[in-house]
């Protein structure tokens, strides 16, 4: 179990960026804290520090059934109350590195991480349109560094491949919104040849959450 505040707040934000709903994030937090004293206060404090959630919304969330106090607010109702989860801007958060260490990083870390590879690896510029939540899309906004599965036109390529994206002109992209992005294929050698006009389907598992029309393919400079 983790009881360090920065560690828990960082984990909450990571889960939200991966598409977890408010109810799913809160369920993880309830399980993590267990029967700790003042657990409900801690849950409210962690969620408030992690996300752009008003104090009034957190008070209303105290009636959530997941807290186990006989509340009547369902998971779906909690999602509507608190979602989408937007990390508080300007904060530094704790990130776990591959060697197991924890270090603080600013909110632009993931963006800078991938744009730093562009001269060596190249990238694909595309216009991304996210589905709305009502259309079956994501519940939470996405940020630079978000990693999705990408599917291609059936007559072009049968397999799906992963690629993180970076946002060109905005910091977050909410369900239903549109923005220019850059795709950074993890295994570009496995991708088919992409040309302007090709439409890529953005998937979370088997679920369609958006589509991206290729605008430009920038080859490595090195």
The model's pLDDT over 35-51, given as tens digits with 9 standing for 90+, comes to: 655 678 888 888 888 88
Between these two residues, 152 and 139, which has the higher pLDDT value? 152
**Residue 202 burial by CB count (10 A; 0-12/13-18/19+): exposed, middle or buried?**
buried
CA 145, CA 19: separation in Å to the nearest integer?
A: 13
- What pLDDT was estimated at residue 177? 95
Question: How do residues 99-137 score in pLDDT, each as one tens digit?
Answer: 555 454 555 667 777 888 888 899 999 999 999 989 999
Mean pLDDT of 179-204: 94
């Amino acid at each position: 179990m983790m009881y360090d505040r920065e560690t828990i707040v960082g984990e909450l934000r990571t889960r939200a960026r991966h598409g977890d709903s408010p109810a799913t994030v809160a369920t993880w937090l309830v399980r993590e804290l267990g029967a700790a004293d003042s657990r409900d206060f801690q849950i409210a404090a962690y969620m408030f520090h992690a996300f752009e959630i008003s104090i009034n919304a957190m008070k209303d969330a105290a009636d959530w059934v997941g807290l186990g106090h006989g509340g009547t607010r369902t998971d779906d109702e909690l999602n509507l109350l608190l979602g989408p989860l937007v990390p508080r801007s300007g904060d530094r958060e704790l990130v776990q590195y591959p060697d197991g260490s924890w270090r603080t990083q600013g909110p632009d870390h993931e963006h800078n991480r991938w744009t730093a590879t562009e001269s060596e690896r190249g990238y694909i510029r595309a216009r991304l349109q996210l589905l709305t939540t009502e259309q079956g899309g994501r519940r939470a906004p996405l940020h630079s560094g978000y990693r999705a599965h990408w599917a291609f036109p059936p007559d072009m390529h049968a397999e799906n491949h992963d690629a993180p994206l970076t946002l060109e002109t905005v910091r977050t992209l909410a369900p239903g919104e549109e923005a220019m992005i850059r795709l950074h294929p993890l295994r570009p050698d496995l991708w088919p040849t992409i040309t302007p006009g090709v439409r890529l389907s953005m998937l979370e598992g088997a679920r369609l959450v958006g589509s991206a029309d290729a605008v430009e393919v920038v080859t490595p400079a090195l």
